[in-house]
Amino acid sequence: MSIELHCPQCQKLIRAPDDAGGRNGKCPYCKASVYIPLPKTSDDEEIRIAPIDPEEERRERELRRETIRYVAAVEQATDAGIDDMGPSSPSETGDVVDMADEAETFVRAMHRSQLEEADSAAARLRRTGVRGRDYVQGLLMDEIPPEYKGIPQPLVHGFLKALLSRLS
């Protein structure tokens, strides 16, 4: 049995041997390169594909954000020399910066035109170095988190880009 297909260039019917499936060949009429599909077999089952579950997608985004926050907190605690990650540790040092809170503070301050507050939040985030920049870049790649509710998405993106430029 042979594989039948039409040349994408000249549209003429072409027959290729079964063992040529999955490779490229030349059309005998116009010499165009043609991909020869694999032959259909009787055991080819249709793969069932499930629709996207918005709730599951939301949970995955939240889990990514939590993971980023956790990793940042561990790295900051390690940099500050904190061995115990208990609830009292961050307040004892005063050096640990919650990047999520500072990014939100910056965006909300910019939205309210409170530039001094925005500058302060950016300065605190700048102390986190590369991790702060990475966090803000991650925010730009994901959907806008729910904590920015009430601020139009294009504004949030613009404010985050402005913050990113201040951190670079």
Residues 49 and 134: their CA atoms lie apart, in Å, by 34
Q: What is the pLDDT of residues 59-89, one digit of tens each?
A: 888 888 888 777 777 776 766 665 444 443 3
Ranges of each domain in the chain: 2-36, 54-167
The Cα-based distances of 97 to 77, 90, 107, 115, 124 in angstroms read 10, 9, 16, 20, 7
Q: The tokens 């640990």 sit on which residue?
A: 96
Q: What is the pLDDT along the chain (168 residues), one digit of tens a residue?
A: 688 899 989 999 999 988 888 899 999 999 999 999 987 766 666 777 778 888 888 888 888 888 877 777 777 676 666 544 444 333 334 456 788 889 999 999 999 999 999 999 999 999 888 888 888 888 888 777 777 788 888 888 999 999 999 988
3-state secondary structure of 152: coil
CA 14 vs. chain centroid, Å, equals 43
- The model carries a pTM of 0.47
